[in-house]
Chain A
Amino acid sequence: MAFFQMKKMILAWTFRKPVTTSYPFEPRKICPGSRGRLDVKISECIFCTICDKRCPTQALDVDKVNKKWRIDRLRCISCGYCVEVCPKKCLLLTGDHGIPTVTKEMETF
């Protein structure tokens, strides 16, 4: 039984820099391989609509006729399923997690 077992740890941390950062002034360090925003290289896309059909949250809407590729960022769960199934490998999950938004909009490419 010890009284105030934590004293050493508390003393040590009194003289250390805080581990928290002052977000948003200092952006978070993103570790490689993190699944963030979905990015599309639209010039390589052949509008096959496979990603549209497979997306589990119906976040994508690909128009074959008008050659439009649209995404609802608020629906996307960054699962990466579309990245796996795309035949042209033109989809990519970037480490960037995007900025906050106040409107519900589709982003069109």
Chain B
Amino acid sequence: MGQRTIIPFGPQHPVLPEPIHIDLVVEDEKVIEAVPSIGFIHRGLERLVEKKDFVEFVYVAERICGICSFIHGQTYCQGIEEIMKLEIPSRAKYLRTIWGELSRIHSHLLWLGLMADAFGFESLFMHSWRVREQVLDLIEATTGGRVIFGSCKVGGARRDITPEQMTWLLKQLEVVEKEMHLIVDVFMNDSSVKHRLCGVGVISKADAISLGAVGPTLRASGVADDMRLLKYAAFGELDFEPISRTEGDSYGRCAVRCAELFQSVDLIRQAAAKIPAGEIAVKVTGTPSGEFFSRVEQPRGEVVYYIKGNGTKNLTRFRARTPTFANVPPLVKMLGGCELADVPVLVLTIDPCISCTER
């Protein structure tokens, strides 16, 4: 038996510019135990609802996270609409679906890039981000923002996609899809990538459920659970089947995200074909009174908002449980027993977004 050493990982670490700190107890090259600590940048956004009125708070909700910003805004709006019993126009629902899926593509490409960076494949990283840049251009042209979309509001959407833009968007998506095939091919088939990912950090199906994993981390372990099956926005009218894998290792999680890229492209195509004409927003009158747990699937997994209003223009409670928060316990489990050199890869496979975890 070797000597036990404690190695601190983060909050500043070259592989992940986000403030998570993990104490790794290592014996020789094996990690025996990992103790996470977060909380370096707790912003207390949840209490800001007492200052901002419920319509303005969309802007704060969007800024909880810089990557899934649109879906945060959407989750919040859906929660409020559910409490106020607002029926938003069908076109707005489709618009939200399209933007939500665009943001999933851009988030997964970002993750693929970071992942390539974590196992030291710099050129793959650059190419993933080059393709992501094209997706960001699509987002900017349709919503006006590159990462903070700002196009969702309580009662519908703030912008419309014109038919010409839609045609252009679909044409560009074809280009992006072709490029994505090239990149995904490397991730799925390259021997050096497989060597780093296969069999690393295996989480069994039972563990994934009992540890509360969400999103691709859960689906890679054989549980086909996706909040989009709740049929929020326009998902009820689209053909959709969650993607799951049975490996449960890092390669499985990577494969789930790769497959979701093309699934999102497909969903956007379906939505573009079915989108009805009409209004994009309804007028909001009154104030929310009631409570709702709003659940939406983000690129990283399920996000839960608890919204409670008391009939005034400020909410009583707003609580956000972001997917990374739920994925910390599975991460701790993965780290126990892994090689020290695999730690960066494992930390990245849950797609950590610490800043949104701490709100």
A interface vs B, CB < 8 Å? Answer: 1-6, 9-10, 13, 19, 31-35, 56-57, 77-81, 84, 93
Contact = CB atoms under 8 A, between A and B. Distances in A.
30 contacts: A1-B189, A1-B191, A1-B194, A2-B189, A2-B191, A3-B190, A4-B190, A4-B192, A5-B185, A5-B186, A5-B189, A5-B190, A6-B124, A6-B186, A9-B186, A13-B127, A31-B140, A31-B141, A33-B144, A34-B140, A35-B145, A35-B150, A56-B59, A56-B60, A77-B59, A77-B148, A78-B145, A78-B150, A80-B150, A81-B59
B140 A3 contact: no
Q: Which of B60, B133, B190, B193 has the most CB of A within 10 A?
A: B190
Q: Which of A5, A79, A81 has the most CB of B within 10 A?
A: A5
Q: Identify whether the interface residues of A are mostly helix, strand, loop, or mixed.
A: loop
Contacts of A93: 144
Nearest to B59: A56
B301 to A, nearest CB: 27
B137 interface: yes
A33 B149 CA distance: 12
B30 interface: no
Contacts of B133: 19
Contacts of A31: 137, 140-141
Interface in B40-65: 52, 56, 59-60
Contact of A79 (B59, B182, B186): B59
B191 A3 contact: yes
Nearest to B183: A9
B144 A35 contact: yes
Give the 7 A-B residue pairs with the shortest CB-CB distance, closest first: A35-B144, A5-B190, A56-B56, A5-B186, A31-B141, A6-B186, A56-B59
Contacts of A77: 59, 148
B190 A6 contact: yes
B196 interface: no
A76 B130 CA distance: 29
B312 interface: no
A34 B189 CA distance: 38
A1 B274 CA distance: 40
Given A5-B190, A33-B140, A34-B145, 5 more contacts: A5-B185, A5-B193, A32-B141, A56-B52, A77-B148
B132 to A, nearest CB: 12
B155 to A, nearest CB: 12
A19 B130 contact: yes
A6 B141 CA distance: 31
A16 B158 CA distance: 39
Interface in B128-169: 130, 133, 137, 140-142, 144-145, 148, 150, 158
